[in-house]
Amino acid sequence: MSRFIGKAAKVECSAGGTTPTALGWNDTTVQVVEILLEWQDFGFGGTHPAARTWRTRRHRNCYRVRCDDGHTYDVYLDRGSGRRRWHMYRQVD
pLDDT in tens, 80-92: 767 789 999 999 9
pLDDT in tens, 18-72: 899 999 999 999 999 999 999 887 665 656 565 555 455 567 889 999 999 999 9
Q: How many residues does the chain have?
A: 93
- What are the extents of the domains in the chain? 2-92
CB atoms under 10 Å from CB of 62, counted, come to: 17
Q: Can you tell me the distance from the alpha carbon of 15 to that of 10, in angstroms, rounded to the nearest whole number? A: 16
Three-class secondary structure of residue 81 per DSSP: helix
Q: Can you tell me the distance from the alpha carbon of 48 to that of 45, in angstroms, rounded to the nearest whole number? A: 9
